[in-house]
Amino acid sequence: MAMWATTLWVLFSLVQASPPREVSFEAADGASIVADVYGQGTDAVVLAHGAAFDKGSWKPLAKTLAGQGHFVLAIDFRGYGKSTGGRQDRALFQDVLAAVRYARAHGATTVGVLGASMGGGAAARAAVAAKPGEIDRLMLLSAVAIPNPGAMKAGRYLFVASRDEPLAPSVKGQFARAPEPKRLELLDGSAHAQNIFATSQSARLTTLILDFFPASHH
């Protein structure tokens, strides 16, 4: 029995350590978006990076989510890595929507989106442009503001920022205008968006993410 348990653990570890699969898909305006795919399952999470980051920056979190039973897509926005622009250079929300639709087309029955900073603004705009029911959960991490947060269409919302970061007042303002059901979490410190993962608040942030994006099968 112990040998079987050891073998299963080794196999599990190998799966966990396996590198992501790279995929590409087209956004509505013709942009070509490249993403890293981790894990499998019917519960998808799209990860949208900030301006100073790229899809690879999500690797530790993506592996953790995959280990919890999620199908994870970490995208490179147009102009980052191998992703190329379309007819609208600044339409980053199209990149997020394309990832959401890719996940749906590949078996996802629920799709959550986590956007950080610039990626948070793009994710919020994607939730405005999305059809009802396309985005089940939207987490905005120190997200840049959009003009019409009240028009977002997602099943539920989680806003997160550091209490003392410069963007905190804007995040609170966006939260106030967002639809219900919604929740706001302010973490200790002044780190912005994905930089929080390099602080003492990393474990707290990761717990918030895992709790907000539950997987049906684990």
Taking only the tens place, the pLDDT of each residue in 83-124 is 999 999 889 999 999 999 999 999 999 999 999 999 999 999
Residues 125-155 as b or e (16 or more Cβ within 10 Å = b):
bbbbbbeeebbbbbbbbbbbebeebeebbbb
Fold of the domain spanning 22-212: Rossmann fold (3.40.50)
Residue closest to 49 by CA, chosen among 104, 110, 115: 115
Contact 70, 59 (CB under 8 A): no
Q: Which tens digit of pLDDT belongs to each residue from 187-209?
A: 999 999 999 999 999 999 999 99
